[in-house]
Amino acid sequence: MDSSGVSEWAGTVVTGVLAFAAFWQIRISTRSSAAALASAEAARRASEQAAKARIDDRAPIVVALPPIAEWPPLLHMSRERVPGGGEPLLLDAINIHGSQLPDHTSVFAFPRDQNKLLWFKIWGLIRNEGRTTAVVRLKSHTRFVDEAGPFSASVEEPVVIPQEVGGEGTQAYALPPGASAVFNWADGHPLHEWADAVERPEPPNPHGALFFSMGVEDGFEDGVIDGLFAVVTARPIERIADQTDHWRLAQQRTVGGTRYPTRRHYRGLDPWPPTEPPPWVKDFPGGS
């Protein structure tokens, strides 16, 4: 190999070495950057968990017992749907007086009766087991009451309605530490939807269920917003075997209530509004 060939070979080797060194430096730098990012993310998560622990320590803890529906349900004689848009609530006197309690002799003939609203009055109980006052926000068709109802063994008498806060009509109430409160809520479906749940029970049919949610806050800017969720499932009507398109009240009580685990949102730490659907969606596709 002459001198020019040696020089060319040496240059190639040097270039290769330099390229390899540069590649290795980039790889080391990339690994270092990834390690730094991972370390920063771990530190952020640890700081966030510590902040949430501090918030949890002072936050109210509102727990709910499973809801209990009255039996039998009520049949509204003029409504086809649950009221909305500023109409009187189902628990208002006008709708209670406009409803009847069906019995085992009642017959619902379709299509004549299929759009009549069959609805339940449901009882709930909440208790604040935390160390600070909770602000409970009720949704429509829900109200606190001063009677124990089916929870007489779980609440002290006399039953007191929580103090309303934030002004009249806000549906916000203060629940102090150790206090309990009883509430009623109401919901239902037209008869043809209850019948649909009987005819098509699988997958779990939302026409055979009533969904409930309640918001709980602690009032701090960096505090919590808790979501309480429950569902009442029922098969309140059944076919009359020897009569086409005729239904009647179920001969046995066929209604039960379930509560879901509380969902906690941390102000300033978690995205708002939450993107996760209500917990009953996994059990009742299409439920709202």
Neighbours of 175 (CB within 10 A): 22
Are 273 and 265 in contact by the 8 Å Cβ rule? The answer is no
- Within a domain: 42: no
For the question of whether the overall pTM of this predicted structure is more than 0.75, the answer is: yes
Beta bridge partners of 62: 128
- Tally of domains within the chain: 1
- Within a domain: 106: yes
- Look at residue 46 in the predicted model and tell me its pLDDT: 74
* C-alpha distances in Å from residue 146, one per residue of 34, 63, 88, 106, 231: 60, 19, 21, 33, 23
Nearest residue to 180 (alpha-carbon basis) of 68, 60, 266:
60
- Look at residue 24 in the predicted model and tell me its pLDDT: 65
Determine how β-strand 163-164 pairs with β-strand 172-175: antiparallel
Judging by beta carbons within 10 Å of its beta carbon (0-12, 13-18, 19+), is residue 263 exposed, middle or buried? Answer: middle
Q: How many residues does the chain have?
A: 288
- Look at residue 118 in the predicted model and tell me its pLDDT: 98
- Look at residue 159 in the predicted model and tell me its pLDDT: 95
Q: Extract the tokens encoding 278.
A: 């209500």
- Within a domain: 19: no
- Look at residue 60 in the predicted model and tell me its pLDDT: 96
DSSP run (H or E) holding 125: strand 117-128
- Within a domain: 109: yes
Give percent of the chain with pLDDT exceeding 90: 71
pLDDT averaged over every residue in the chain: 89
Domain that holds residue 205: 61-282
* C-alpha distances in Å from residue 62, one per residue of 22, 93, 179, 232, 250: 60, 30, 10, 20, 35
Q: Per-residue pLDDT tens for 79-95?
A: 999 999 889 999 999 99
Q: Per-residue pLDDT tens for 127-164?
A: 999 999 999 999 889 999 999 999 999 999 899 999 99
- Within a domain: 266: yes
Q: Per-residue pLDDT tens for 192-244?
A: 999 999 999 999 999 999 999 999 999 888 899 999 999 999 999 999 998 99
